[in-house]
Amino acid sequence: MIEFYPQILLVHIWAISLSGALFFTRALASLFGAKWCHLLGVRILSYLIDTTLLTAAAILYTILPKEIFANGWLHLKLLLVVLYIVFGFVAMRKSNPKNIRVILLLLSAICYVLIIGIAINHHPLGWFYS
């Protein structure tokens, strides 16, 4: 399976980029009152991208040597992913007050940026790791 590492990594990177791009576009559009961002087709597209992302992540985890994860960066990343999803989910709900949604969207964006930094550097300090 390690033979497919470059392709799987590429899928993973594309999926995380698309997932983030679609989410933040939808969230911003939703804040400005747009309706398209809640359409069934758009939601399904988002689920498809996220499922692909999760699958690629699970494959990478099983095929890479476990030593890579020894410093605990993956655990922190997973925690941030959960926070990203929870913040994002609540930020998308139209029934919540707008200011709360903006704050949650910002928190979600921070999580996203931290996740990218941790994933690239393979270290819990992420962007702050030198």
Tokens read off for 72: 């605990």
Shortest reach from residue 67's CB to other proteins, in Å: 11
22 burial class (0-12, 13-18, 19+ CB within 10 angstroms)?
middle
- Taking contact as CB under 8 A, which single stretch among the options 13-21, 22-30, 46-54, 93-101 is the one that binds other proteins? 46-54
Tokens read off for 40: 């069934």
CB closer to other proteins out of 64 and 83: 64
Total site size for other proteins, rule CB under 8 A? 15
Task: Give every CB contact of residue 5 below 8 A, 6+ residues apart in sequence.
Answer: 60, 63, 64
Tokens read off for 89: 């989910």
User: Among 14, 129, 125, 33, which Cα is nearest to 73's?
Assistant: 125
Pattern of binders to other proteins over 53-92, x per CB under 8 A? -xx--xx-xx---x--------------------------
CB closer to other proteins out of 11 and 114: 11
Q: Is residue 18 near other proteins by the rule CB under 8 A?
A: no
CB closer to other proteins out of 52 and 121: 52
